[in-house]
């Protein structure tokens, strides 16, 4: 299958700070590429380059088969962008915003209005269509911004941290919409700070740090690298700790870690909820009192720890700069 997004060796420097240090990206038609990384890793810089907002210092890219450098206008007519900073006009209504964007995609008056109405309906904004964006909640703004990116039904879509700052319900709603889009053949590049989001939506995940790839694979491959879910047990009495250790050992797929300060034990497991149930039963049978117990999904931080040996946000001195320059770049 042809690649709808293809980029080689993207480099972008801001003064002394390197936002992108030779990044390659590829997404096959109709698939979702997740770009995962902490703040300042270069995610937004990459999206800005691929959507023609900024020019790379080096590197090549084609979007939907069109050369980014040779025909930026052609690229623009085939993409939709919904950025991290919501790009809608505060003083216009939801309808006016979408209608304007449709006109600027040159859909014509009738078609723009049709599409605006359709999308407002689909994103559950019909009631708010006549209100100015000032009155919208964060989730509504995000939905409208995404609707703006979809007006012209572009074959390639770029979503830069689409769910950052959203509550879990709005996030789930947005995930549903995104799945629907991809189901209809749209190619999507999605940046995120959340492993769970990439896991939920992306076929292929590139983990980046300091503007370069540090890992690449499917969600399953990455998980195998860092281990799957863990059971975390906070034990009330230190006397019970050895018992808990023994119970967890029977179910763990790897080494059990113990944090004496909080008397918390963490055990990697191969299964999911069913193992948690078994552990709970065993603890109950032995009469162990626990303060807290739960399944913990691997986070971006775990990925980082596994790959780089350091936490995502606890960075060496040099990263401080990269964060400042790339912004939540």
Residues at the site binding another protein, with contacts judged by CB under 8 A: 48, 51-55, 73-74, 76-77, 79-81, 83, 85-92, 96, 100-101, 103-106, 132, 148, 327-329
Say if CB 80 and CB 157 are below 8 A apart.
Answer: yes
Say if CB 33 and CB 203 are below 8 A apart.
Answer: yes
- Shortest Å distance, C-beta 77 to another protein: 4
- Shortest Å distance, C-beta 158 to another protein: 8
Please choose, from the candidates 176, 212, 207, 172, the residue with its C-alpha nearest in 3D space to the C-alpha of residue 192: 207
With both helix axes pointing from N to C terminus, report the angle between 168-183 and 138-150 in degrees, rounded to the nearest 10. 10
Q: Which is nearer to another protein, 86 or 231 (CB)?
A: 86
Q: Which is nearer to another protein, 50 or 315 (CB)?
A: 50
- Shortest Å distance, C-beta 104 to another protein: 4
Beta bridge partners of 21: 11
Q: Which is nearer to another protein, 41 or 329 (CB)?
A: 329
Q: 3-state class of 274 per DSSP?
A: helix
Integer Cα distance of 296 and 299 in angstroms: 9
Cα angle 309-47-50, degrees, rounded to a multiple of 5: 125
- Shortest Å distance, C-beta 90 to another protein: 7
- Shortest Å distance, C-beta 271 to another protein: 42
- Shortest Å distance, C-beta 319 to another protein: 17
Kind of pairing, strands 17-28 and 156-160? Answer: unpaired
- Shortest Å distance, C-beta 1 to another protein: 25
Q: Which structure tokens are listed for 64? A: 């939907």
φ/ψ region of 161 (left if φ > 0, alpha if ψ in -120 to 50, else beta) reads left
Q: Which is nearer to another protein, 53 or 58 (CB)?
A: 53
Q: Which is nearer to another protein, 55 or 259 (CB)?
A: 55
Q: Give the gyration radius of the chain's Cα atoms.
A: 23
Q: Which is nearer to another protein, 242 or 320 (CB)?
A: 320
Integer Cα distance of 286 and 180 in angstroms: 48
Q: Which is nearer to another protein, 157 or 247 (CB)?
A: 157
């Amino acid at each position: 299958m042809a690649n709808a997004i293809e980029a080689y060796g993207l480099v972008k420097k801001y003064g002394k700070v390197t936002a992108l240090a030779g990044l390659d990206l590829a997404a096959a038609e109709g698939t979702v590429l997740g770009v995962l990384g902490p703040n300042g890793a270069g995610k937004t810089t990459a999206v800005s380059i691929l959507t023609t907002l900024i020019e790379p210092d080096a590197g090549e890219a084609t979007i939907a088969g069109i050369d980014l450098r040779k025909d930026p206008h052609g690229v623009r007519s085939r993409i939709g962008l919904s950025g991290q900073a919501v790009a809608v006009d505060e003083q216009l209504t939801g309808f006016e915003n979408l209608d304007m964007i449709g006109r600027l995609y040159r859909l014509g008056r009738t078609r723009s209005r049709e599409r605006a109405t359709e999308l407002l309906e689909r994103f559950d904004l019909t009631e708010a269509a006549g209100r100015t964006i000032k009155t919208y909640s964060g989730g509504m703004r995000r939905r409208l911004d995404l609707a703006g990116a979809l007006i012209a039904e572009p074959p390639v879509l770029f979503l830069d941290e689409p769910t950052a700052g959203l509550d879990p319900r709005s996030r789930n709603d947005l995930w549903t919409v995104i799945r629907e889009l991809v189901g209809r053949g749209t190619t999507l590049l999605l940046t995120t700070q959340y492993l769970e989001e990439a896991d939920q939506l992306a076929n292929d995940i590139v983990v980046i740090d300091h503007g370069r790839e540090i890992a690449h694979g499917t969600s399953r491959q990455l998980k195998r690298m860092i281990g799957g879910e863990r059971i975390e047990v906070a034990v009330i009495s230190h006397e019970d700790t050895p018992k808990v250790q023994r119970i967890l050992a029977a179910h763990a797929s790897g080494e059990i870690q113990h944090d004496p300060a909080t008397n918390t034990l963490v055990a990697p497991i191969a299964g999911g909820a069913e193992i948690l149930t078994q552990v709970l039963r065993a603890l109950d049978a032995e009469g162990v009192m626990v303060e807290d117990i739960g399944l913990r999904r691997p986070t971006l931080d775990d990925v980082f720890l596994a790959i780089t040996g350091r936490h995502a946000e606890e960075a060496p001195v040099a990263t401080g700069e990269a964060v400042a320059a790339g912004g939540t770049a």
